[in-house]
């Protein structure tokens, strides 16, 4: 155990006040549909599933994309150990989608809020042999409490661009204290490794992105068959994980131009009504899957959870959302793994290394908004095959990391 420095000690003291407001805030979120009715108490440290016997490896990621990316690492670990796995995350969407893509011997729970009592209940119950944190979101109380119990900590798939580093650099003492507690740290790229070093990380290895190695998203056979039937004979284009800026660029470009059937899977399905109104305002007709409507219009909003595996399988081309605005991109490897060609807008900073690797292999294409009408009608079958080949190769590249993690856990 490393004794907390001043910044961490202040944080830990302040975190004792979290239980004063946590139940009320969670109930408000529950009323707004942001928490699962039967599981919100997990965030108070109350488990809702039984702990399996034997060693258990705990992996944490924040949201949907980060959580799904852990599946490839779990597969590599599971091939070498009989241990069970616990994934924690913080968002409702991550829990709902992971439930349809859960790896073998794996349980999902929500990470408790970062109060000492909640974290203690969590650790008392699950007793992990190893704690693996993904990407860049560290909960100081949980990290310190895990370290205090002698549970080894690893940070994998770390990603930190210049803006994220600048925000953390203001709290250098706190992050240096936290990073010193990790016995293994890996980064997606050299830029992240430099930023972690600057924050006080003692040693960082660059191992690439876990997202590239994640298995393909699953698809419900009934949903897939029904969707394939209604899309038969068409070559739809999918706008995946869309934000308002992506939709505006697309709708504006398609006004008065011939276009294929457009499927829009919004990052937040609750925005479907807003998206439909914007499309109508640009002279496009719209239907919504959540209302039981099919693809009889110019735009079909597929505003349902857990069906991205269906759309990637059935759409020959995917336009990656978040690439026409400040979100700076979403995961391009999900369509790559399922043979859908990758188009994207000019803003990809959050996945710069991933898109660079795809472009180097001729496996993705950048398009400006004004070029969309022609770009959406082109055939990219060769490009899609190259992207899938990269994804397939990456899925077998996690063996060294898995071995290092099992050695750290004392399970190798």
2 SS3 class = coil
With both helix axes pointing from N to C terminus, report the angle between 172-179 and 6-14 in degrees, rounded to the nearest 10: 90
User: Tokens 């099992």 belong to which residue?
Assistant: 406
- The reply to whether 221-394 shares the fold of 6-215+396-409 is yes
HEC string for 108-164: EEECCCCCHHHHHHHHHHHCCCEEEEECCCCCHHHHHHHHHCCCCEEEEEECCCHHH
Instruction: Extract the tokens encoding 406.
Output: 């099992």
HEC string for 25-79: HHHHHHHCCCCCCCCHHHHHCCCCCCCCCCCEEEEECCCHHHHHHHHHHHHHHHC
CA terminus-to-terminus distance, the chain: 23
Confidence at residue 40, expressed as pLDDT on a 0 to 100 scale: 95
Closest CA to 107 of 144, 154, 57: 57
Confidence at residue 43, expressed as pLDDT on a 0 to 100 scale: 97
Instruction: Extract the tokens encoding 313.
Output: 């399988």
Residues listed for the chain: 412
Instruction: Extract the tokens encoding 94.
Output: 């991550």
Averages of pLDDT over runs of 10 residues in the chain (412 residues) are 86 96 95 93 97 97 88 94 96 88 94 97 98 93 97 94 91 94 94 94 89 90 96 95 96 85 95 96 95 95 93 97 96 96 95 92 96 94 96 85 96 90
Question: Residue 163, class by beta-carbon neighbours within 10 Å (0-12 exposed, 13-18 middle, 19+ buried)?
Answer: exposed
What does CATH list as the number for 221-394? 3.40.50.2000
Confidence at residue 257, expressed as pLDDT on a 0 to 100 scale: 79
Closest CA to 182 of 152, 138, 209: 152
Instruction: Indicate the domain borders of the chain.
Output: 6-215+396-409, 221-394
Its CATH class, for the domain covering 6-215+396-409, is alpha beta
What is the enclosing helix (H) or strand (E) of 287?
A: strand 286-288
Q: What is the pTM of this model?
A: 0.85
**3-state DSSP percent of the chain in helix, strand and coil, to 5:** 45, 15, 40
Q: Up-side HSE of residue 57: CA atoms within 13 Å toward CB?
A: 29
| Angstrom distance (rounded) from CA 389 to CA 212 | 11
Confidence at residue 97, expressed as pLDDT on a 0 to 100 scale: 85
Confidence at residue 1, expressed as pLDDT on a 0 to 100 scale: 63
Closest CA to 296 of 206, 230, 239, 345: 230
Confidence at residue 166, expressed as pLDDT on a 0 to 100 scale: 94
């Amino acid at each position: 155990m490393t004794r907390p420095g001043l910044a961490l000690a202040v944080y830990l003291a302040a975190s004792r006040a979290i239980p004063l407001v946590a139940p009320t805030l969670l109930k408000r979120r529950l009323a707004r549909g942001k928490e699962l009715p039967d599981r919100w108490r997990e965030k108070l440290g109350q488990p809702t599933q039984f702990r399996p016997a034997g060693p258990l490896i705990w992996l944490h990621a924040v949201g949907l994309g980060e959580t799904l990316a852990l599946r490839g690492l779990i597969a590599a670990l599971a091939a070498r150990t009989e241990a069970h796995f616990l994934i924690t995350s913080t968002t409702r969407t991550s829990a709902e989608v992971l439930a349809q893509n859960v790896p073998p011997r794996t349980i999902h729970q929500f990470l408790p809020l970062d109060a000492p009592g909640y974290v203690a209940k969590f650790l008392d119950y699950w007793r992990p042999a190893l704690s693996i944190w993904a990407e860049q979101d560290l909960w100081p109380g949980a990290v310190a409490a895990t370290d205090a119990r002698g549970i080894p900590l690893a940070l994998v798939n770390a990603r930190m661009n210049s803006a994220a580093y600048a925000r953390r650099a203001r709290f250098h003492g706190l992050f240096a204290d936290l990073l010193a507690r990790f016995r293994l740290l890996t980064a997606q790229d050299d830029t992240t490794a430099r930023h972690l070093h600057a924050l006080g990380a003692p040693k960082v290895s660059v191992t690439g992105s876990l997202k590239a190695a994640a298995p393909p998203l699953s698809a419900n056979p009934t949903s897939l068959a029904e969707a394939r039937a209604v899309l038969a004979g068409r070559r739809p284009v999918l706008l995946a994980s869309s934000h308002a800026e992506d939709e505006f660029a697309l709708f504006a470009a398609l006004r008065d131009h011939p276009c294929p059937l457009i499927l829009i899977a919004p990052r937040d399905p609750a925005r479907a009504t807003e998206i439909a109104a914007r499309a109508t305002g640009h002279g496009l007709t719209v239907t919504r899957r959540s209302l039981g409507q099919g693809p009889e219009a110019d735009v079909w909003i597929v505003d349902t959870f857990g069906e991205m595996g269906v759309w990637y399988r059935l759409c020959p081309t995917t336009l990656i959302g978040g690439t026409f605005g400040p979100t700076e991109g979403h995961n391009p490897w999900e369509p790559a793994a399922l043979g859908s060609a990758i188009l994207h807008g000019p803003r990809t900073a959050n996945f710069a290394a991933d898109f660079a690797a795809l472009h180097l292999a001729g496996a993705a294409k950048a398009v400006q908004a004004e070029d969309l009408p022609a770009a959406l009608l082109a055939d990219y079958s060769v490009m899609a095959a190259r992207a899938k080949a990269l994804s397939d190769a990456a899925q077998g590249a996690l063996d060294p990391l898995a071995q290092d993690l099992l050695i750290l856990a004392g399970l190798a």
